[in-house]
Each structure stands twice: as C-alpha cells, then as structure tokens.
C-alpha cells in the first residue's frame, strides 16, 4: 500500500475514533438515569429527553456497549458504571418472572412493565450485556444470567419449549408459519460473544453456530434471486407470492454478512467467508440508492412494490453495519471493491448522519438524506449500540489494515 493510501486510511481511522469518543460521551451525559438507573434513549438532537419510557433492548445494548469499550480500550470507571447501571435496572425491573423469565420490551422510567413482545431480542441483548460485563469483571453471577438467557433463547428459537408469554405467533400457524433471518443471525452474534467470554462451553457454542450458519446460508441466502430473504417458510423455502415473503432488508443482510465473516474466520472456513462477502455484495448493490446515496431500508426481492411505508428512508444502522462489513472484507481479501464501498458509506455518514454541532448521529433520514423533522438522536430502537459498535470495530479493523 502506497503512502497516500495509508494516509487516507489513517485519516478515516482517526475520524472514527474521534466520533466514538463523542458518541460515548453523548449518552453518558444525556441518557443515564441517576434516579432509577438504566438509560433513557428517546433523545432529541441536542440530547433532551422527549419520552421517559425506557427501551429494554437499549438497557441490554447499552450494558454491552460500555462493557465492550472497556474490553477494547481498557476499563474506565464511567463506562463500567453505565454498563452496571443498565444491568441492575434490567434485573430489578425488566424480567417477567411470571412468564418464564422472558423480558419486557418497554417499561416506565421507574421500571413498571408496559409491553411484552413475541420475539426474544430483549433476552438476547440482556444476554450479551451480562456476558460482556462478566468478560471484563469476572462477576460469575453475570455469566450465570447470560447462560440462562442463552438457553431460553435457544429453546424458543428451536421450538423446544412453548413461549411462556402465551402470545403465540403473529400469523395463524395452520395457515402460514416460517423462519426469520433475524433469529438465526442475532443468535450467531450472541454465540460469538458468549464463546469469547465463556470458553468452557466452546463445543456447545460451536455446534449452535453451525446450526445458525446452516439456516442463514442454506435457507435465507438465495443467490438465484440475488438476495437474502428476511423470511422463509417452515421448510426453509421462499414464498414469493405475497409481500412479506419477498422482503429484503439490506441492512440486516449486511450485518449478517459480518457475523458470518467472524464465524468463518473463527472456523477457518474460506468458503463461508466467500459466501459472506457475496451476501454483502448483493445487499449493498441492491440497497444503495443511486439517485440520492445511502442504503434503502427495505426492498422487494422481485422489484415489486414494498409494503412498509418507511421503505425508502435512510436509517443509521444499515450504514453502521456496512462500515464494519466492508472493512472486515477488505482486511481479509485486500480486494479494492470493499475498500471503495467503505469510503462511499463513510462519506455518506459524514455528510448526512454525523452532527458536528451536538454530537452523535441522526437516526432517521428522508430518502434525500435530510433528517426527519424534528431530528432525533435516539428512540426505542436507537441508543448507544450500532453507532459506537461500528465506530469501534471499524477503527480496530483499519488499524490492522494500516499495520500498526
């Protein structure tokens, strides 16, 4: 690599690290609840709270993020305290003990339950938050919590137990049932974290990881359609005669691609890494908006109309995932194609998502790249997770590419 290319990478890496510091501080300053514990994530552009309700996803994600930053950059008291505050809030208020220790989806500021949802992503983020905190502190109780949640998720995803919430599936199972890409891909990421902090159960994690890979690659990845489908039927086959069966979420596919890259690197599986790169390529090329730039939220596998109203919006997290995936793919392959995509996405993020005045990144843009009005930095679904994770992981990957 010539000096000019290296200098460009160094500048990109330094920008990412600077943004990481800004984003991490933004949430500590504006989001942490000193009275009840945990974090508020419904924040406007300047960091003012516009809803006191708390996202259970975000308690687990915030716990993971600040513990992970401690893992990567060394323990800082404020990071560890933020992680612990969210974990304590989760344990005290967000576990539905009457429903088999499923977690709620939203609660009030002081922890009274508001909403329960069918899917078990709250449990997943609770799991990784506790696991990462254990990895940093060695607190055995946190690992025990993570292990219990891990087993519950596995059992639910594989139909080994009835959902104790009693909510049942969204559709009438006798008419239509299927499998979601989200279940397999999120569990694969959970596995990678659990395996890193809990090597005692490596064989179990390896077995479950292979099951996830088989579902993603064998069922959802459809190179004959040029995409990875969000859902397939119970037999793992596409159903393309209705809109939900044709949904493609490019951001999910891109995120899934780097989960698979990490698994491929762990397993020394060159073919899987190639498949992961193909999933990235199909998603970024189909999802990129050639007119306005940025990654579209939803597209249809056959190019037909999409049902979701927000299909042509530009959300923060698909772009975050693209920074991670493109940099990882380039590190492994040295193919300029991936570095070009990295810079293309990075430039879009600089121009449209990053806020040099108030810090952090906008969450929601219109198709033309202008923030929705009034602009927001956080919501039930956006908090200190995708942005700091991407900034940290891409910064680490660029450092490896640079060779420092």
Q: Kindly report the number of other CB atoms within 10 A of residue 336's CB atom.
A: 10
Distance between CA 84 and CA 64 in Å, rounded?
A: 10
**Residue 361 near residue 23 (C-beta atoms within 8 A):** yes
Q: Kindly report the number of other CB atoms within 10 A of residue 11's CB atom.
A: 11
pLDDT attached to residue 170: 82
Whether residue 149 is contained in a domain is answered as: yes
Q: Which residues contact 292 (CB under 8 A, 6 or more apart)?
A: 314, 367, 368, 369
- Residues found in the chain: 404
Distance between CA 247 and CA 368 in Å, rounded?
A: 22
> Which pLDDT tens digits describe the chain residue by residue (404 residues)?
788 899 999 999 999 999 999 999 999 999 999 999 999 999 999 999 999 999 999 999 999 999 999 999 999 999 999 999 999 999 999 999 999 999 999 999 999 999 999 999 999 999 999 999 999 999 999 999 999 999 999 999 999 999 999 988 888 888 889 999 999 999 999 999 999 999 999 999 999 999 999 999 999 999 999 999 999 999 999 999 999 999 999 999 999 999 999 999 999 999 999 999 999 999 999 999 999 999 999 999 999 999 999 999 999 999 999 999 999 999 999 999 999 999 999 999 999 999 999 999 999 999 999 999 999 999 999 999 999 999 999 999 999 999 96
Q: Kindly report the number of other CB atoms within 10 A of residue 137's CB atom.
A: 15
With CA atoms as reference, report the closest residue to 255 among 337, 184, 202: 184
Token pair of 59 as six digits: 């308690």
Give me the number of domains the chain comprises: 1
| Residue 275 exposure: Cα atoms within 13 Å on the Cβ side | 21
Distance between CA 9 and CA 399 in Å, rounded?
A: 8
> What residue numbers bound the domain in which 60 lies?
54-168
**Residue 333 near residue 265 (C-beta atoms within 8 A):** no
pLDDT attached to residue 234: 93
Cβ-based burial of 110 (10 A; exposed 0-12, middle 13-18, buried ≥19): middle
pLDDT attached to residue 169: 82
Distance between CA 25 and CA 39 in Å, rounded?
A: 13
pLDDT attached to residue 175: 87
pLDDT attached to residue 78: 98
pLDDT attached to residue 1: 75
pLDDT attached to residue 80: 98
Whether residue 123 is contained in a domain is answered as: yes
pLDDT attached to residue 173: 83
Token pair of 115 as six digits: 């909403």
Torsion of CA 285, 291, 296, 299, to 10 degrees: -70
pLDDT attached to residue 168: 84
Whether residue 89 is contained in a domain is answered as: yes
Distance between CA 142 and CA 130 in Å, rounded?
A: 5
Q: Which residues contact 388 (CB under 8 A, 6 or more apart)?
A: 20, 23, 24, 65, 69
Whether residue 99 is contained in a domain is answered as: yes
Token pair of 93 as six digits: 């208020």
To the nearest 10 degrees (0 to 180), the angle between helices 316-333 and 386-402 is 20
Whether residue 144 is contained in a domain is answered as: yes
Placement of tokens 């299909």 in the chain: 311
pLDDT attached to residue 163: 92
């Amino acid at each position: 690599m010539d000096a000019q290319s290296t200098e460009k990478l160094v500048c990109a890496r330094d920008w990412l690290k600077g943004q990481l510091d800004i984003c991490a501080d933004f949430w500590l300053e504006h989001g942490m609840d000193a009275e009840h514990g945990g974090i508020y994530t419904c924040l406007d552009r300047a960091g003012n709270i516009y809803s006191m309700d708390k996202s259970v996803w975000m308690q687990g994600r915030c716990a993971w993020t600040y513990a992970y930053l401690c893992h990567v950059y060394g323990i800082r008291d404020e990071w560890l305290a933020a992680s612990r505050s969210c974990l304590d809030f989760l344990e005290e208020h967000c576990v539905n003990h009457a429903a088999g220790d499923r977690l709620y989806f939203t609660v009030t500021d002081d922890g009274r339950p508001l909403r329960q949802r069918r899917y078990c992503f709250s449990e997943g983020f609770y799991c990784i938050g506790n696991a990462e905190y254990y990895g940093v502190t060695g607190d055995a109780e946190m690992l025990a919590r993570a292990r219990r949640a891990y087993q519950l998720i596995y059992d639910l995803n594989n139909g080994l137990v009835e959902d104790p919430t009693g909510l049942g599936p969204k559709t009438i199972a006798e008419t239509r049932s299927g499998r979601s890409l989200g279940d397999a891909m999120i569990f694969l990421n959970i596995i990678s974290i659990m395996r890193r902090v809990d090597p005692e159960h490596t064989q179990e994690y390896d077995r479950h990881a292979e099951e996830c890979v088989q579902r993603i690659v064998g069922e959802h990845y459809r190179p004959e359609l040029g995409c990875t489908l969000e859902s397939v039927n119970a037999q793992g086959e596409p159903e393309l005669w209705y809109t939900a069966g044709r949904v493609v979420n490019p951001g999910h596919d891109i995120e899934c691609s780097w989960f698979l890259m990490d698994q491929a690197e762990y397993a020394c599986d060159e073919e899987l890494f190639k498949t992961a790169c193909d999933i990235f390529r199909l998603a970024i090329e189909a999802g990129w908006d050639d007119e306005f730039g940025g990654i579209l939220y939803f597209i249809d596998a056959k190019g037909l109309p999409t049902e979701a109203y927000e299909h042509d919006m530009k959300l923060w997290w698909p772009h975050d995932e693209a920074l991670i995936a493109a940099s990882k793919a380039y590190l492994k392959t040295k193919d300029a194609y991936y570095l070009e995509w990295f810079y293309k996405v990075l430039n879009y993020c600089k121009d449209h998502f990053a806020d040099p005045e108030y810090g952090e990144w906008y969450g929601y843009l219109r198709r033309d790249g202008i923030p929705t009005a009034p602009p927001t930095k956080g919501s039930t679904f956006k908090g200190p997770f995708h942005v700091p994770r991407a900034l940290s992981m891409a910064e680490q990957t660029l450092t490896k590419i640079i060779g420092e």
